[in-house]
Structure 1
Amino acid sequence: MTSQTHSSEPNQPLTITESGSGPAALVLHGGAGPASVNGIAEHLSHTMHVLTPTHPGWDGTPRPPESTTIADLATMYSDLLRNRGLHEVLVVGSSIGGWIAAEMAAQDSDGLLGGLILIDATGVWFDDHPITDFFALDARGIAEHSYHDPDRFHQDPATIPPSQSAVRQANMATLRQYAGDPYMHDPQLLTRLADVSIPTLLLWGASDKIVTPAYGAAYAAAFGNAHLEIIGKAGHLPHLEQPDATFARIDAHLSKAANAS
């Protein structure tokens, strides 16, 4: 049995969904919004207490004017864990959520984090494999770059209710605020990860055309204790296209990390 509550943290403009019980996990969504990581949160909630925040500015939530960068979000979530007295927390991040998680790990000097799972994370840059300019894509282009099977996930904008379309446009404006300049990366991030020694799993869709698997390999090499798993027949959101394969790899990683501790 799991229960869910929505709460705003004192002194922080955070809306959080909580479920399950056990060791703490923080699940961070990407530009697609909190609904895109519901499956991950539900899977982990069978054995963990899962916190799934909505990043400030997404889905109509307030964004304080001083919160403008991915580092700001990372600091906010680190403060959340610290204020709740949580340590050794598993942090799972998809897309920019993975970037936030990596930044949290780079900032962590208090043992707040006990493990990382980054899923097709942005945050770094290679001139030979530039991150696709997501903001320049139309709906069909987004589907073709994000999914192994774009026809399964493409939505004709004409069929989306105006209220839902407005939310999506506002989410993209918020994404641009946090990750638009420099585009989708921090030039210093990779060099700051060498001292991060907590168990880290990089999961990457083989067909991701937003951030190719080369980015997963670079992340894996940058961390002190990491490995990369490629998921076939999946793109930028493997937990949506191949949930069983994604969750099996997560479970195996967590089991291995527990046995090693």
Structure 2
Amino acid sequence: MATRFVFRASVTEAGDPALPTALVLHGGGGPRTVAPIVGHLAATRHVLAPTHPGWDGTERPDDLTSVAQLAGDYLELLLSDATEGGVQGEAQGGVTLVGSSIGGWIALEMAVQAASDARFEGLIDAIIVLDAVGVEVAGEPIADFFSLTPRQLAELAWHDADRGFIDPAGLSDQQRTVQAANGRTMAVLAGASMSDPTLIARLDAVTAPALVVWGASDRIVTPTYGRALAEALPNASFVQIADAGHLPHLEAGAVTFEAIDRFLELPR
């Protein structure tokens, strides 16, 4: 793996650069939460995995204040790499966007922005979101993440809460500092509601095939919320993963990756 700094983000690369590209976008827990996705996709893709500015000790520029801005940054990153030959273009299958939680929101916003800008035509080939936040669904509110204790978060986000619970007492001072900074960054970019009321209506512009993957036990954003998200995308399928919560790739990796692989193998 290699790491470089571009467009305000530290980007880890994995896999063969000659292969089609996948951009993997982490959620609030930081890059470690999507490391298994990066490792899995690196066998068949050239994977770019940014650390969003402000996470894991990185700096968030003062003028970066929204998911929409970050999505625009990542589109420019992909366009720049395509121009330089680092991202495989339409003939090679384009770029697959993969996002977990808030990373799924970023991926969806990228797809919406790309659909309205001719510069990005053919750049995005497919979208995979796992338990994404970002849309508003009537009767299915997103859990108030910022009010939850660590134990409450584990209860809502994991099928096996004991597996997901991280006791703050066991963290080092540095780990607590990073965790607090991650939370502050997420609050700035995502807002208290962790959603954009305009997003779900704008998804009808996205024509790329999409896979919406959801943990059956997720109570941060429920499977009903996930199905509504899938229905708002013109060309999406929905897969529910048993015995998994908000991070199905961590709790039920084999089943989750099987669903992802089936989707990626479909003819485009």
TM-score normalised per structure 1: 0.94
Which of the residues 126, 145, 150 maps onto 1:139?
150
User: Given residue 8 of structure 1, which amino acid in structure 2 is its aligned partner?
Assistant: F
The residue number in structure 2 matching 1:226 is 236
Runs of 4+ in 1 over 3 A off after TM superposition: none
- After superposition, the C-alpha distances for 1:73-127 in whole angstroms (9 at most, x for unaligned) are 1000000001111342000000000000000000013222110000000011134
Number of matched pairs: 252
Q: Tell me whether 1:216 sits opposite 2:211 in the alignment.
A: no
For 2:243, what is the secondary structure of its paired residue?
coil
User: Given residue 243 of structure 2, which amino acid in structure 1 is its aligned partner?
Assistant: K
User: Given residue 120 of structure 1, which amino acid in structure 2 is its aligned partner?
Assistant: D
Q: Distance in 2 between matches of 1:193 and 1:229?
A: 19
Instruction: Report the CA distance between 1:64 and its aligned residue.
Output: 1.2
The residue number in structure 2 matching 1:16 is 11
Instruction: Report the CA distance between 1:195 and its aligned residue.
Output: 2.2
User: Given residue 90 of structure 1, which amino acid in structure 2 is its aligned partner?
Assistant: T
Q: Tell me whether 1:150 sits opposite 2:145 in the alignment.
A: no
- After superposition, the C-alpha distances for 1:32-70 in whole angstroms (9 at most, x for unaligned) are 001100000000000110000000000111111111000
Aligned identity (percent) is 49
The residue number in structure 2 matching 1:45 is 42
For 1:249, what is the secondary structure of its paired residue?
helix
The residue number in structure 2 matching 1:248 is 258
User: Given residue 210 of structure 1, which amino acid in structure 2 is its aligned partner?
Assistant: I
| Conserved? CA contact 2:136–2:200, under 8 Å | no
| Conserved? CA contact 2:216–2:242, under 8 Å | yes
The residue number in structure 1 matching 2:74 is 77
Q: Distance in 1 between matches of 2:137 and 2:8?
A: 34
User: Given residue 8 of structure 2, which amino acid in structure 1 is its aligned partner?
Assistant: P
User: Given residue 104 of structure 1, which amino acid in structure 2 is its aligned partner?
Assistant: M
- After superposition, the C-alpha distances for 1:230-251 in whole angstroms (9 at most, x for unaligned) are 0000000000100101100000
User: Given residue 60 of structure 2, which amino acid in structure 1 is its aligned partner?
Assistant: R
Q: Tell me whether 1:102 sits opposite 2:108 in the alignment.
A: yes
Q: Distance in 2 between matches of 1:185 and 1:235?
A: 19
Q: Distance in 2 between matches of 1:129 and 1:224?
A: 21
- After superposition, the C-alpha distances for 1:199-229 in whole angstroms (9 at most, x for unaligned) are 1000000000001011211111111110100
